[in-house]
Amino acid sequence: MPAADESHSDAGRPQETTPLLPRDAAERQYDRWVLYRALLCAFMVSLSFGVTQVPMLYVFRLMTCEAYYETHPEPDIQSSLDRCARHEIEAGTARAVALLSASTTIFGIMNLLVTGWSIKRFGVKPALVIQVFWPAARLAVQNIGVMAGSNAGIIIIQCSQIITIIGGPNGYVLALNALVTDITEHEARTGALGRLQGCMMVGSAVGFLVGGILGDFFGIITPFRITLILFVLCCLYVIAFLPPIPREKDTVAARQTPGLRRFFGPFRIFAPQKWILPNGHNSIQTGALTLGLGVFLSILATGYLSALLQLYSTNDFGFGTSENGLLIFIYSSLRGLYLSLVFPRIIAKGRKWLQPFPIGAAPDPPESLEEPDYGNVPTSPNKIVSVDHLDDETEPLHAPARDDEQETFAFDLLYARWSIFIDCIMTGLATFVSQGWQLYLVAVLLPFAAGTGAASKGSILQMLPKSERLDALSGMTLVENLARLSTTALFGLVFAALAEVGKSYLVFTCNAAVALLGFVALLFSHFPPEGSRRANNYE
């Protein structure tokens, strides 16, 4: 009887042949419908953020105009159709928008660090809920600012941006990128990140169009009230339809660098890495560093284009909210559709054309690989102890790692280089726009140079080990936001200065020059030579 009891009790215990992760759980995690729900979430939240973007610029113009005429005499109505069409007001609007964007970016960078910590501490889904809920609170404050108007309204809206530290667009982008990275497999990751970015852009485009129409037909405050409702609905969607991703294991957290060094961990991914070449010599690789520099310069060149097109069209061609909404809808929707539908196919075909090569030591013997092969469930007790990698904090529910995790797709980096070069040409051509309809042509052509960011993220995920995946995404997002902060401060002031002298079109030439520098920087970014392996242990 004791023997029978012992046999019965052992029946429920894990055996040497018992899979470490239930097959059903792993397969559910890779279900394509999980990705589709995440993409729908990206569309909905981006739409919510986009509804107020076009009205926000128009609101700042109206409030700047109100503040201007509080200290200046009103113009003769018969001599001017638009009382706000003055260089002083246009320059003041550009400075106010630049300050708003700069403060949003500064707080957004802080938000990224908070979001990265919350993902590690609570998991992806709770962090995403936080990032969607708090923008609703920010919208409530902005509604008060729009109703106040003049300088008081500008100050209220500017101060509302501090809420971005807790929850905002940057944090939700990081959380969704982390979720999509976890639920997609190695070879599909770059394409999935492109689709995610594309859905965000399509959502933003629809938001731009809807916001412009609502502002024209129902009053300028209507988009702000509608957006508040949309964010509440998005929060409920995240809670109800996105799968929970548990927080990391304590054993993994214990291996992480404690304190502030862990909090600012995303910055260290750009440090030069030591690799051992096939001939046995050590080599310092700076691929991640130069990739980050190239992405910074590319965003510096193109990150202000959306706001720039609106300011330029308003100041030089008299566009209103509807025209601007349509302009940005065309630009963002085509860019999003390109990333969602065309970009993944280009990546797939390009990889077949430029064959992938393995990073790390030669495949024979298997022990020389950077990460052990868990493709088959181990049957030896001596091998079971090596499965601690399954506790890796960025992949809590992933199935055992596969050999193709060692493949590096060099085409991703090649695409990133030439997409920013094409962006350079397209942006430079915008300098010669002389009629309003030509801006719509610019909005149609520019999206076909998209994909630099998605290809760069796919590249850096291949340059770093799995355990650094969340920090890699955080680091690239930080670089993008630092670039947006810089482009807002730089080109916002440049545009204001050029607008005062009536030569605002020259800002496109400046953008093209910076994009060319980004292309040059990406030329120096390379993967380690074939057959190399890491000299230090990142696990």
**pLDDT greater than 50 at residue 438:** yes
Give the model's confidence band at 262: pLDDT under 50 very low, under 70 low, under 90 confident, else very high.
low
pLDDT higher than 90, residue 70: no
The dihedral built from the CA positions of residue 200, 201, 203 and 207, taken in this order, carries a sign that is positive
Q: Judge whether residue 467 has pLDDT over 80.
A: no
With H, G, I as helix, E, B as strand and everything else as coil, classify residue 282.
strand
Specify whether the backbone of 292 is left (phi greater than 0), alpha (psi in -120 to 50) or beta: alpha
Per-residue model confidence (pLDDT) at position 252: 34
pLDDT surpasses 70 at 17: no
Highest mean pLDDT among 115-129, 252-266, 270-284, 451-465: 115-129
The pLDDT-based confidence of 77 (bands split at 50, 70, 90) is: low
**Residue-wise burial string across 64-98, b where 16 or more C-beta atoms lie within 10 A, e elsewhere:** bbbbbbeeeeeeeeeeeeeebebeebbbbbbbbbb
d(CA 146, CA 52): 11
Q: Residue 373: exposed, middle, or buried by beta-carbon count in 10 A (0-12, 13-18, 19+)?
A: middle
Q: What is the mean pLDDT of residues 30-43?
A: 80
Average of per-residue pLDDT across 462-486: 77
pTM > 0.95: yes or no: no
Per-residue pLDDT at 383 exceeds 60? no
Of the candidate ranges 238-247, 300-309, 405-414, the one whose mean pLDDT is the lowest: 405-414
User: Is the model more confident about 300 or about 258?
Assistant: 300
Phi, psi at residue 22, to the nearest 5°? -55, 135
Q: What is the mean pLDDT of residues 244-273?
A: 56
Instruction: Report the share of the chain in percent with pLDDT over 70.
Output: 77
Q: Is the pLDDT of residue 265 over 70?
A: no
User: Is residue 149 exposed (0-12), middle (13-18) or buried (19+ Cβ within 10 Å)?
Assistant: middle
What pLDDT was estimated at residue 59? 87
For the segment 334-349, the average pLDDT, to the nearest whole number, is: 84
231 pLDDT band, cuts 50/70/90, is very high
Fold category of 26-73+82-245+263-372+401-534 in CATH: Growth Hormone; Chain: A; (1.20.1250)
Rounded distance between C-alpha atoms, residue 493 and residue 431, angstroms: 18
pLDDT-derived band at 234 (thresholds 50, 70, 90) equals very high
What confidence tier does 261 reach under pLDDT thresholds 50, 70, 90?
Answer: low
Whether residue 42 contacts residue 176, with contact meaning beta carbons closer than 8 Å, is answered with: yes
**How confident is the model over 297-319, as a mean pLDDT?**
83
- Output the six-digit token pair for 67: 């503040």
Q: Tell which wins on pLDDT, 243 or 253.
A: 243
- Alpha-carbon gap, residue 337 to 323, rounded angstroms: 21
Q: What is the pLDDT of residue 247?
A: 55
CA distance 164 to 105: 9
User: How far is 179 from 224, CA to CA, in rounded Å?
Assistant: 29
Residues 515, 423: contact at Cβ < 8 Å? yes
Tell me the Cα Rg of the chain. 25
- pLDDT of 214 over the 70 cut: yes
Highest-scoring range by mean pLDDT, 32-41, 382-391, 420-429: 420-429
- HEC string for 86-110: CHHHHHHHHHHHHHHHHHHHHHHHH
Confidence of residue 27 (pLDDT cuts 50, 70, 90): very low
**pLDDT higher than 70, residue 507:** yes
One-letter amino acid at 69 equals Y
In which band, very low, low, confident or very high, does the pLDDT at 397 lie, cut at 50, 70 and 90? very low
Residue 233 has pLDDT above 90, yes or no: yes
Q: How far is CA 82 from CA 154, 312, 319, in A?
A: 21, 16, 12
Position 435 scores a pLDDT of: 83
* Token pair in block for residue 404: 């193709």
Q: Specify whether the CB–CB gap between 213 and 365 falls below 8 A.
A: no
Q: With 0-12 CB in 10 A as exposed, 13-18 as middle and 19+ as buried, what is 17?
A: exposed
Contacts of 50 (CB under 8 A, 6+ apart): 203, 204, 205, 206, 207, 208, 210, 211, 332
Which residues, listed in sequence order, are joined to residue 484 by a DSSP beta bridge? none
What percentage of the chain reaches a pLDDT higher than 90? 7
* CA-based nearest residue to 401, from 445, 424, 369: 369
Of the segments 371-375, 434-438, 466-470, which one has the largest average pLDDT value? 434-438
State the chain's mean pLDDT as an integer: 75
**Candidate ranges 94-108, 118-132, 267-281, 403-417; pick with highest mean pLDDT:** 118-132
- 4-13 confidence digits (pLDDT tens): 444 444 444 5
Q: Are 471 and 269 in contact (CB under 8 A)?
A: yes
Q: 331 or 80, which is more confident?
A: 331
Tell me, rounded to whole angstroms, the distance of Cα 418 from its chain centroid.
20
pLDDT band at 327; cut points 50, 70, 90 = confident
Distance separating alpha carbons of residues 336 and 323, to the nearest angstrom: 20
